[in-house]
Amino acid sequence: MDLADLVIQDVDVADGSGAPTYRADVAVKGGRIVAIVKEAAAAGCQRPRGTREMDAEGLVLAPGFIDMHAHSDLALLRDPDHSAKAAQGVTLEVIGQDGLSYAPTDDRTLAEVRRTIAGWNGHGDDVDFDWRSVGEYLDRLDHGFGGEGIAVNAAYLVPQGTVRMLAVGWEDREATPRELDRMRRLVADGLREGAVGMSSGLTYTPGMYARDAELTALCRVVAEHGGYWCPHHRSYGAGALEAYQEMVTLAREAGCPLHLAHATMNFSVNEGKAPDLLALLDEALGEGADITLDTYPYTPGCTTLAALLPSWANEGGPEAVLARLRDDDTAERVRHHLEAVGADGCHGVPVDWETIEISGVNDPGLGPYVGRTVRESAGLRGEEPWTVARRLLVEDRLGPTILQHVGHEENVRTIMRHRVHTGGSDGILHGDKPHPRAYGTFPHYLGHYVRELGVLTLEECVARLTGRPAARLRLPDRGLVREGYRADLVLFDPATVAAGSTFAAPRTLPTGIPHVLIDGRFVVEDGRRTDVLAGRAVRRTA
């Protein structure tokens, strides 16, 4: 064979299929894997030669990790380094999650969505929003940073809540036939322009106002274009199993592949109930349903403080929410729903302020609240927790992000063992004290759950982070170490790989991942981020 650009020698290959690891030399040329010679040194056969030859003894070579649930929609355009993901071995992120993102939009909707998810991504004042359609946004990713590209690859889901914002607005009502037709067209246009599917955030407004018939109609469009539906469903707390069943039933009626976002069983009402969820999924899978799911390997969740509010308080959009919070009588109704009834935004469970930790604010003057629970701050100030929460929401204009300490470790482990499981960070990078999953999900799987606990074998874990996600995304040349496949690759040390990020120091980078390649180019080399921008938009294929 011709001289390769790179030959990775004597490396243990976990190829992304779940098959046993094997020793090989792997040659890369022109951004693709051009040869895999197993047990090359021991067999004494002709070894591939390259312009550069790397001795990888003691390392594992795997396909680049695919983050099935990411919130890097603006981070990819503002941070060329993006080590939060590149250093983890992530070579592809799926963005446009939870039904809320920045395309398709118009001028009015863009302003509203920027305000709504400022807690996820910041206000974006440092980003030039020079796109409106899905295709234009994907083109912007392709030509980021002076036309060079972006740090890692990105695939996009059409956000159903943003689509509803465009067509219906912020009203809690059924869409008219004309509005539904417009939503169908918007979803179809986004898929034709390269989106891989559609996301929903059914505890976030205005997407949560969609009835099942509306969602079914949109899912039929997704199915017609070869995409998949990724819902954050209507409850992860009280009624979680019923909410999962709703998604399964709806997707099957629409004939649409289903990928359940951050499929957790949280809150005290669901402790020990992960087997019930998996039984529900197994029944549907046994009947031929096309279902996958993703999880992050931690117990706390992360969202915005405003997301906990009851849906009626969110109707009308961000300014209407703030007006209600400023009104004492209406704010008292909100408090009652949160603390006594269990708001739908808080998954039908009365809020426990001891579990709600402020992780980020936009106003630096509110910084002293970060890293403390709402109850802790209230105690220090001699106030009621709701008084503190209300002040933060109003003064930070709905901007605070939170960590929600409501998960159960056994549920986490049980779900990650399931055969349709994939990995997703749900990583919110914005805020002073983000969830460590944003910087640590993939090494935490490999270090903690594989090496330390043995919950998964190394081969099984790699498949859940690579081959299985690529299959869901219908990517014909990614997710496996195969000849002809793209050289999106990660090399890690199975004895030392670990998440550096913790709840105390969430932006600490991982250890044990010395090399990461995208299209055969080193984006991480010898443990350091290079200046290579090899990432592009990965568009849906037929």
| Confidence at 542, pLDDT banded by 50, 70, 90 | low
Q: Alpha helices, DSSP H only, in 198-288?
A: 212-224, 240-254, 274-286
pLDDT interval class at 46 (50, 70, 90):
confident
**pLDDT band for position 540 (50/70/90)?**
confident
What does the pLDDT read at residue 145? Answer: 95
Q: Which of 418, 509, 416, 427 is nearest to 93 (CA)?
A: 427
Return the bridge partners of 259, or none: 292
How much is the pLDDT for 431?
A: 87
> Please, how many CA atoms are within 13 Å of residue 390, restricted to the half-sphere of its CB?
22
Residue 440, burial from CB neighbour count under 10 angstroms (0-12, 13-18, 19+): buried
Task: Give tens-digit pLDDT for 166-197.
Answer: 999 999 999 999 999 999 999 999 999 999 99
Residue pair 1/36 in contact by the 8 Å Cβ criterion = no
How wide is the angle at C-alpha 536 spanned by C-alphas 435 and 479, nearest 5°?
Answer: 75
Domain range summary for the chain, segments of one domain joined by +? 67-299+407-477, 310-403
Instruction: Please compute the mean of the pLDDT values over residues 41-60 and round it to a whole number.
Output: 88
Q: What is the DSSP string of 5-40?
A: EEEEEEEEE--SSSPPPEEEEEEEETTEEEEEEETH
Confidence of residue 41 (pLDDT cuts 50, 70, 90): low
pLDDT tens for each residue of 416-451? 999 999 999 999 999 899 999 999 999 999 999 999
State which amino acid sits at residue 407. G
Beta strands 4-13 and 60-63 are parallel
Whether 374 and 404 have beta carbons less than 8 Å apart is answered as no
What is the pLDDT at residue 229? 98
Homologous superfamily of domain range 67-299+407-477: Metal-dependent hydrolases (3.20.20.140)
Predicted local confidence at residue 541, as pLDDT:
77
pLDDT score recorded for residue 245? 98
Count of CB atoms within 10 A of residue 45's CB?
11
